Amino acid sequence: MSTDKKPLSATARAVGERIGSLRDFIEFLEENGQCITWTNEIMPEPDVRNIAVAAGRDSMNGPAVIFNNIAGYPGKKLVLGVHGSFTNLALLLGHPKGTTIKELFYDIISRWGDDKPLLDFIEPEAAPVNENRLTDNFNLYDLLPLYRINEYDGGFYIGKANVVSRDPRDPDNFGKQNVGIYRIQVQAPGEFTLLSIPAHDMGRHIMAAEQEGVPLKISVMLGNHPAMCMFAATPVGYEESEFAYASQMMGSPLRLTKSGNGMDILADSEMIIEAELMNGVRTFEGPFGEFPGSYSGVRKIPRFKVTAISHRNDPIFENIYIGRGWTEHDTLIGLNTSAPIYAQLIKDFPEVVAVNALYQHGLTGVISVKNRFAGFAKSVAMRALGTPHGTMYLKNLIMVDDDVDPFDLNEVMWALSTRTRADDTIVIPNMPLIPIDPGAEVAGKGHRLIIDATSFMPPDKLGSDSKIVTPPAGPEIDEIAKVIQLLQNGVNS
């Protein structure tokens, strides 16, 4: 899938070329005042979660935080919040601070696709991730500064791993190689559980391996190129490559190499944990504070055994705070959740202007559309519910006109206040819904709500005698707003 491309700006190209790894991006964030280092000694619990939550309060401008003085982990480094604010994403895409979410949305849309992948393959011996290689006596508790993310989690979680797996029935197929973010709970020094469900690519691979009695090998990539994390969390087609999407978004090659167990991996990641499924084993996992802001319960899930570990010198452990929103999870996946829904909708409905599916992975979405005729927005809403992501996630949909920025909640609330009739809402009962929704009466099933907050059109007479005030708007006003912000921050423009 791809959208209409615009050439990248010179700045965006330069940033793409400069950032080849997590380390490069951290350095770039530091230069731009978007990454701080917490040097005071802290305890793993509760200090890490306390500081992560405080730093993440500002979803527009919050910084990443490096911890380099964790008691009991001398010399170890942890980083959180790398994707914790929209400004951090703006910098990654070569934009200045103050870039709006809507501008980022359109930029990501214009880069969206996998038709022009930029992938360089290098020999494993030349890959920085192979600077150190362990083949026995694994101890994840020692290698990584692990900690409990939320106070009732069942253990210590790795929440931002990008996991590579291949279809065990078709292991030579690059397209059927999947990169996904799956939560990992460390269960022993050299073993962990990984949560997937049958609908996920990884779930399919696990079931295939156990059905056929063949080994399932995976490579867990930690501390990755920041674009990789964004696409590992993006629902792309089963035969599409997340590596291809990530490289195309950056407009610059990603360096890949082969892991010891045959997966394609990022050559510049901080650590690769190679592991193998323990066929037929299921282990207690959870609870874990998840993105809807509630704990998912205790379950018995598949377990993996570490077979080898590669890591850079002084590896940086990158993790995420996740829980009741807003959190880094929302910033990490929000725009990449919105973009494919938009790309799928405009194929049939070019009147769609923008899609905001930022909230709880799209449990609530706002779609801006130019009404072709009365009731048109409802037809678009129905189509959105039929997109791959919409089928399981879009629980509440708010439809607004093309003059409303769906990313600006003040504008959305204005549309709700002035353009909604109570009988312009639709409830569709008993639809499929992700099991994790805490509002579900039965897990896996729920009702959908469509609120049509678009204006009335003929033949509907309602509202025909009111005229909307036209305040100054457009690029000129946006520019003035940015100047005002700079003046307020004491920067001479």
Residues belonging to the active site: 290
Does position 483 interact with another protein (CB under 8 A)? The reply is: no
CA atoms within 13 A on the CB side of 414: 12
Q: State the nearest-atom distance from the C-beta of 81 to another protein, in Å.
A: 22
Does position 298 interact with another protein (CB under 8 A)? The reply is: yes
Does position 215 interact with another protein (CB under 8 A)? The reply is: no
Does position 270 interact with another protein (CB under 8 A)? The reply is: no
Does position 106 interact with another protein (CB under 8 A)? The reply is: no
- In contact, 484 and 476? CB cutoff 8 Å: no
In the complex with another protein, which residue's Cβ is closer, 142 or 170?
142
Grouping H, G, I as helix, E, B as strand and the rest as coil, residue 57 is coil
Among 324, 335, 177, 189, residue whose Cα is nearest residue 262:
177
What is the rounded distance in angstroms from the CA atom of residue 60 to the CA atom of residue 48?
A: 21
Does position 75 interact with another protein (CB under 8 A)? The reply is: yes
Indicate the residue type of 175: G
Binding residue for another protein (CB under 8 A) from 302, 334, 365, 446?
A: 302
Stretch that binds another protein, among 55-63, 199-207, 267-275, 389-397 (CB under 8 A): 199-207
What is the rounded distance in angstroms from the CA atom of residue 203 to the CA atom of residue 470?
A: 52
- In contact, 216 and 277? CB cutoff 8 Å: yes
In the complex with another protein, which residue's Cβ is closer, 386 or 444?
444
Antiparallel, parallel or unpaired: β 157-158 and 184-188: antiparallel
Q: State the nearest-atom distance from the C-beta of 214 to another protein, in Å.
A: 12
Question: What interhelical angle do 101-111 and 328-348 show, nearest 10?
Answer: 60
Query: Which residue bears the tokens 């694994």?
Result: 138
Stretch that binds another protein, among 51-59, 73-81, 386-394, 409-417 (CB under 8 A): 73-81
Does position 487 interact with another protein (CB under 8 A)? The reply is: no
The residues in 324-353 that bind another protein, with binding defined as CB under 8 A, are none
Binding residue for another protein (CB under 8 A) from 262, 287, 293, 375?
A: 287
In the complex with another protein, which residue's Cβ is closer, 225 or 303?
303
What is the rounded distance in angstroms from the CA atom of residue 261 to the CA atom of residue 232?
A: 20
Does position 438 interact with another protein (CB under 8 A)? The reply is: no
Q: State the nearest-atom distance from the C-beta of 311 to another protein, in Å.
A: 18
The residues in 384-413 that bind another protein, with binding defined as CB under 8 A, are none
What is the rounded distance in angstroms from the CA atom of residue 219 to the CA atom of residue 266?
A: 10
Grouping H, G, I as helix, E, B as strand and the rest as coil, residue 216 is coil
Stretch that binds another protein, among 77-85, 145-153, 360-368, 458-466 (CB under 8 A): 145-153
Burial of 173 (0-12, 13-18, 19+ CB in 10 A): exposed
Does position 214 interact with another protein (CB under 8 A)? The reply is: no
- In contact, 119 and 254? CB cutoff 8 Å: yes
In the complex with another protein, which residue's Cβ is closer, 98 or 287?
287
Grouping H, G, I as helix, E, B as strand and the rest as coil, residue 318 is strand
Q: State the nearest-atom distance from the C-beta of 209 to another protein, in Å.
A: 11
* Secondary structure of 436-456 in HEC code, one letter for each residue: CCCCCCECCEEEEEEEEECCC
- In contact, 236 and 242? CB cutoff 8 Å: yes
What is the rounded distance in angstroms from the CA atom of residue 82 to the CA atom of residue 66?
A: 9
Q: What share of the chain is helix, strand, coil (3-state, %, to 5)?
A: 30, 25, 45
Binding residue for another protein (CB under 8 A) from 32, 283, 364, 379?
A: 283
In the complex with another protein, which residue's Cβ is closer, 2 or 50?
50
Q: State the nearest-atom distance from the C-beta of 278 to another protein, in Å.
A: 11
296: which 2 tokens? 């998912």
Report the chain's terminal Cα–Cα distance, integer Å: 40
Stretch that binds another protein, among 2-10, 92-100, 142-150, 414-422 (CB under 8 A): 142-150
In the complex with another protein, which residue's Cβ is closer, 171 or 203?
203
In the complex with another protein, which residue's Cβ is closer, 7 or 198?
198
Q: State the nearest-atom distance from the C-beta of 198 to another protein, in Å.
A: 6
Does position 131 interact with another protein (CB under 8 A)? The reply is: no
Where do contacts with another protein occur on this chain (CB under 8 A)?
Answer: 43-46, 71-75, 139, 141-142, 147-148, 151-152, 154-156, 185-189, 195-198, 203, 206-207, 210-211, 279-280, 282-285, 287, 295, 297-302
